[in-house]
Amino acid sequence: MAEYPLGSIEDRGMLAKMPMDKLLDHFFLQIRNLWRVDGLYFLEIEKKFGTKAATEIDAKVWEAMAAIEAKSLQKMFDVDENPDIPTIMGFLRLTSWALDQPFKTVEISADKAVLSINRCRTQEARLKKGLEEFPCKVVRWSYLRNFAETLNQRVEVNCLVCPPDPHPKDLWCKWEFKLHS
């Protein structure tokens, strides 16, 4: 349990009474709402200061968020320092970013993992609004690298493809996580 309980006793009791399917729907709705706020902030910063400035700010925010999420998950699940690749990827799959990416594949071995995002809600929403692809490589890389390194300094994160890189229609980004001895 967290140092401070997550939510009030009354709120926890109310949620505990929900049927599991509705509780999960509510949980994913709140994650979706977090990403909606992130997107709305980004778009307003982009309008006022341009894509480059918005991307730089976004990268710093998500780099900080990565450490917060990694440490919170490590504490919540009582995992020791320097977890292995399967544990790190298990934690990554529990982050708000990964949970909001339903079109992903994850391949994991003892010392390496590959995460692929086959469809990206953020990019698809931008294209639908008539905007260009978001050059998200720097944002994602700072987030994923800091998440993994917060948990284990021996993990190297490599970008295999991510916008602004050219990519096939059925793959937006692909990341490799390797554990060095």
CATH number of the domain within which 173 lies? 3.30.1380
**What's this model's pTM, rounded to 2 decimal places?**
0.91
36 is a domain residue: yes
85 is a domain residue: yes
pLDDT value for 4: 57
- Domain range for 48 is 9-179
pLDDT value for 1: 45
H or E element: which one contains 107?
A: strand 104-108
H or E element: which one contains 7?
A: none
Query: Could you identify the residue written with the tokens 């391949």?
Result: 107
pLDDT value for 6: 77
For 86, the token pair is: 């399967």
pLDDT value for 3: 57
Beta-carbon contacts of 14 under 8 Å, excluding residues fewer than 6 positions away, are none
69 is a domain residue: yes
pLDDT value for 7: 83
Q: What is the pLDDT along the chain (181 residues), one digit of tens a residue?
A: 445 567 889 999 999 999 999 999 999 999 999 999 999 999 999 999 999 999 999 999 999 999 999 999 999 999 999 999 999 999 999 999 999 999 999 999 999 999 999 999 999 999 999 999 999 999 999 999 999 999 999 999 999 999 999 999 999 999 999 999 8
Domains of the chain: total: 1
Give me the phi and psi of 176, to 5 degrees please: -115, 135
